[in-house]
């Protein structure tokens, strides 16, 4: 099935925008989603050629687990709300000539708007396409801890830098039944010693995967400086009316005037400092074997 010309045009806009945000995601051996910033991206026929830094574990993981999701957003079109374009592209990646060649199998719209079901692909080449055998029933061991103040300050600083420039974060999950990663733009509304707060206006793949449940990762990346923070852990829901209002009030400052259907609390068990040249663990609550469990 060929990609329709109008959808190819959308991909070209998202890839070539003067203010673009490009991230990708792959899973590791534990089924943890590992997001990464794209250093190169281009459309070539029915493929996307992309690259990322060698220091990010994703660079090696893609060769072992080729199922990859890319988030490609034309921020200019969203700020001006002129033909707003944001797409999630899923497929199988293969290293060729020093970069990765992604064969496109699914494309999803990521812009919430009337009449668009974000769970239904706007392009699908094949229903079953994952190469890696994967099926897990995850569960997470609860805990009671607070982030050290110096780590909390660093996360808030990076979040504030990114937000001030109109750069959102990305929430990465996986489908536990297939291992296919999912990556979605999100604003991190609040960062506390206990959780990072983000909301959902619709129940789409990110929310569905979180509720199954699955491991969750959040990458907060300040693109101009090439500095970021990656949190790996899991998410739970919040029923707090005050927190729901805080999410909705924050969205309004971004021109997004809709109710929050879900408010999620992300609990980071591992935190990494990431840049274009480094990937360093700076915090861990406990060994992964103690929190990432299976039924």
Query: What is the rounded distance in angstroms from the CA atom of residue 33 to the CA atom of residue 62?
Result: 11
72, 186 contact by CB (below 8 A): no
Other CB atoms within 10 A of residue 171 CB:
30
Size of the chain in residues: 295
Give which of 29, 91, 85 is closest to 66, Cα–Cα.
Answer: 91
Strands 292-294 and 181-186: unpaired
Q: In this predicted structure, what is the pLDDT of residue 116?
A: 73
pLDDT of residue 76: 87
Q: Spell out the per-residue pLDDT of the chain, length 295, in tens.
A: 789 999 999 999 999 999 999 999 999 999 999 999 999 999 998 899 999 999 899 999 999 999 999 999 998 888 888 888 999 999 999 999 889 999 999 999 988 776 677 788 999 999 899 989 898 999 998 877 889 999 999 999 999 999 988 888 999 999 999 999 999 989 999 999 999 999 988 878 899 999 999 999 999 999 889 999 999 999 999 999 999 999 999 999 888 888 999 999 999 999 999 998 889 999 999 999 999 998 7
CA-based end-to-end distance of the chain: 38
Per-residue pLDDT at 114: 67
Q: Which domains does the chain have, with CATH numbers?
A: 15-294 (2.30.110.10)
Cα three-residue angle 200-250-220, rounded to 5 degrees:
70
Distance CA 76, CA 13 (A): 10
Whole-number Å distance between alpha carbons of 32 and 39: 22
Contacts of 214 (CB under 8 A, 6+ apart): 31, 138, 173, 174, 175, 176, 234
Do residues 210 and 241 touch, judged by C-beta distance below 8 A?
A: no
Torsion angles phi and psi, residue 111, rounded to 5: -100, 110
pTM: 0.94
Q: At 40, is the secondary structure helix, strand, or coil? A: strand
- Sign of the C-alpha dihedral, residues 130, 125, 22, 195? negative
Q: How far apart are CA 194 and CA 196, in angstroms?
A: 7
């Amino acid at each position: 099935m060929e990609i329709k010309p109008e959808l190819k045009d959308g991909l070209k806009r998202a890839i070539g925008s003067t203010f673009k945000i490009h991230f990708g995601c792959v899973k590791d051996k534990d089924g943890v989603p590992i997001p990464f910033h794209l250093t190169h991206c281009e459309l070539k026929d029915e493929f996307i050629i992309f690259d990322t830094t060698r220091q990010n574990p994703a660079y090696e993981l893609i060769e072992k687990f080729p199922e990859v999701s890319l988030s490609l957003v034309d921020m200019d079109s969203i700020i001006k709300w002129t033909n707003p374009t944001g797409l999630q592209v899923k497929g199988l990646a293969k290293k060729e000539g020093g970069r990765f060649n992604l064969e496109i199998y699914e494309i999803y719209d990521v812009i919430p708007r009337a009449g668009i079901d974000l769970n239904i692909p706007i392009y699908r080449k094949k229903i079953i396409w994952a190469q890696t055998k994967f099926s897990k029933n995850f569960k997470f061991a609860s805990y009671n801890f607070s982030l050290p103040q110096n780590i909390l300050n660093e996360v808030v600083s990076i979040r504030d830098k990114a937000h001030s420039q109109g750069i959102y974060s990305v929430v990465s999950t996986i489908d536990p039944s297939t291992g296919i990663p999912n990556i979605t733009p999100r604003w991190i509304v609040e960062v506390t010693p206990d959780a990072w707060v983000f909301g959902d206006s619709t129940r789409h793949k990110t929310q569905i995967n979180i509720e199954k449940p699955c491991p969750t990762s959040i990458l907060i990346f300040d693109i101009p400086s090439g500095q970021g923070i990656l949190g790996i852990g899991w998410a739970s829901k919040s029923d707090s009316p005050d927190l729901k209002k805080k999410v909705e009030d924050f969205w309004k400052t971004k021109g997004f005037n809709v109710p929050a259907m879900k408010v999620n609390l992300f609990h980071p068990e591992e935190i990494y400092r990431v840049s274009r040249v480094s990937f360093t663990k700076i915090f861990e609550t406990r060994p992964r074997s103690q929190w990432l469990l299976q039924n």
